[in-house]
């Protein structure tokens, strides 16, 4: 069974992390909520989250590790030495990693997006470019770089697209769930409501 860890840090963007957990679990993928330093996390909007476990060497066993954004949450992820060491080991072993919104600043600091195509929340590319000057910033909703095994996305409104991209990188068919969750309906009709 494929398994994904989503790392929650204090100050995280709750909808970004929980959307990934929700979509992946609906698809039958083991999706674990992993607290950065505690199983109790306070999100950016004061939503208390209870995680399944905390960051440990078991992160090396996951098919994908995903990082939700939120400025404070992303900074906490970026600055945590234990997580950084594990993510560098994952990257060196050729494993998939994912980050959205502000969290690509953590992947940049770890060296994971060096040379990779990626995206992030508007304006955060200035920070990612400092730590990964040879990365290639794109303004797409999601960016999957198969060569570097990195998936990135823009922000809260793109959380479902990010979750589906993670599942698709694992080889999971998302067509029926996209229809069932009205994702295609939204994608097809979003321009009409603007």
> Can you say whether the dihedral through the CA atoms of 69, 70, 73, 74 is positive or negative?
positive
Residue tagged 């060491």 (tokens): 85
Which tokens belong to 86?
A: 């594990």
How many domains is the chain partitioned into structurally?
Answer: 1
**CATH label of the domain that carries residue 115:** 3.40.50.880
Catalytic residues: 101
Q: Which residues form the domain of 25?
A: 3-193
Q: What pLDDT sits at residue 186?
A: 83
Cα distance from N-terminal residue to C-terminal residue, the chain: 40
Q: What is the pLDDT along the chain (194 residues), one digit of tens a residue?
A: 899 999 999 999 999 999 999 999 999 999 999 999 999 999 999 999 999 999 999 999 999 999 999 999 999 999 999 999 999 999 999 999 999 999 999 999 999 999 999 999 999 999 999 999 899 999 999 999 999 999 999 999 999 999 999 999 999 999 999 999 999 888 777 766 55
- The pTM for the full model equals 0.96
Half-sphere exposure of 89 (CA within 13 A, CB side): 13
Nearest alpha-carbon partner for 165 in 179, 182, 147, 178: 178
């Amino acid at each position: 069974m494929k398994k994904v860890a989503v790392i929650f840090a204090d100050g995280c963007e709750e909808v970004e992390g929980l959307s990934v957990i929700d979509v992946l679990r609906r698809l039958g993928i083991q999706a674990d909520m992993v607290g950065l330093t505690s199983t109790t996390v306070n999100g950016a909007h004061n939503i208390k989250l209870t995680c399944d476990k905390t960051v440990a060497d078991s992160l090396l066993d996951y098919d994908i590790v995903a990082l939700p954004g939120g400025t404070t949450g992303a900074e906490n992820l970026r600055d945590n030495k234990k997580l950084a060491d594990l993510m560098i080991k994952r990257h060196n072993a050729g494993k998939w990693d994912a980050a959205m919104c502000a969290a690509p600043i953590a992947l940049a600091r770890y060296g994971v997006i060096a040379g990779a195509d990626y995206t992030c929340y508007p304006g955060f590319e200035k920070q990612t470019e400092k730590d990964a000057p040879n990365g290639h910033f794109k303004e797409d909703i999601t960016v999957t770089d198969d060569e570097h095994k990195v998936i990135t996305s823009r922000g809260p409104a793109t959380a479902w697209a990010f979750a589906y991209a993670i599942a698709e990188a694992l080889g999971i068919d998302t067509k029926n769930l996209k229809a069932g969750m009205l994702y295609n309906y939204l994608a097809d009709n979003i321009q009409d409501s603007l």
